[in-house]
Amino acid sequence: MTLEAKCLECQEATEEELLARLDEVLAQYVEVPGALIPVLQIAQAMFGYLPETALRKISVALSKPYSEVAGVVGFYSFFTTVPRGKHLVRVCLGTACYVRGGKQVLSALRDLLRIEVGETTPDRQFSLDVGRCFGACGLAPVIMVDDDVHQRVKPTRLGRILDKYRQTEGDASANDSPADSITGEDS
Ligand code: FES
């Protein structure tokens, strides 16, 4: 699992409302063996990440030490305690992409977004992550923004790519993908 978008219904809810919903979820799992990971996955889908308040609630409800809950979260890379942005930007650092400029693309994104890998921009628009291969090696270097693949990416074109996603804010067509599922940047 990669960084996972917050569920649509939860995007409008306050943290208080989400914690109340988490209580309802926990009530269903309290007697279920091996419930910790499924509950963490549900909580992450609700909040978009795993805040400490949610982890402490889970710890108490499932009668597990907080250190154990935090340890599981830290062990699995698909869990995060950092709030995520609306859009996830992933840079492929697989061999093909790396040798064809992936490192420079990542460096340019870090400069553009002013964040490091694993971080989210202060306006919660973008999170930055890396991947090992997106299955498009012949079109390297490749990045993904949400579910969109951008191929043969050039660092100088990254600003335009990001702008496509920013421009969907408040747009009635915001539910449409701002890019084709596979987009070439070499034209
Ligand atoms: S190495 Fe980047 S898509 Fe395969």
pLDDT value at 173 more than 50: no
Burial 82-94 (b: 16+ CB within 10 A, else e): eebbbbbbbbbbb
Paired with 151 in beta bridges are 184
CA-nearest residue for atom 1, ligand 1, is 94
Query: What gap in Å lies between CA 179 and CA 185, rounded to an integer?
Result: 11
Average pLDDT on 37-56 reads 94
For the record, the structure tokens of 138 come out as 């012949």
pLDDT value at 29 more than 80: yes
Domain parsing of the chain, residue ranges: 8-75, 87-184
Which CATH number does 87-184 carry? Answer: 3.40.30.10
CA distances from 68 to 39, 72, 127, 135, 136 (A): 14, 6, 27, 35, 38
Measured in degrees and rounded to the nearest 5, phi and psi for residue 87 equal -120, 135
CA of 59 to the centre of ligand 1 (A): 39
pLDDT value at 172 more than 50: no
Q: Atom of ligand 1 at shortest distance to CA of 140?
A: 2
Query: What gap in Å lies between CA 50 and CA 43, rounded to an integer?
Result: 7
Q: Given this model, what pLDDT does residue 180 score?
A: 42
Q: Atom of ligand 1 at shortest distance to CA of 134?
A: 3
**pLDDT digit string, tens, across residues 62-109:** 999 999 999 999 998 789 898 888 899 999 999 999 999 999 999 999
pLDDT value at 60 more than 90: yes
Ligand 1 contacts (CB < 6 A) are: 92, 94-97, 133-137, 140, 142
pLDDT value at 114 more than 80: yes
Q: Given this model, what pLDDT does residue 48 score?
A: 85
Pocket test for ligand 1, best of 92, 106, 151, 152 (most atoms within 8 A of CB): 92
Q: Is the pTM of this model over 0.75?
A: no
User: Read out DSSP for 9-39?
Assistant: GGGGS-HHHHHHHHHHHHHHHTT-TT-HHHH
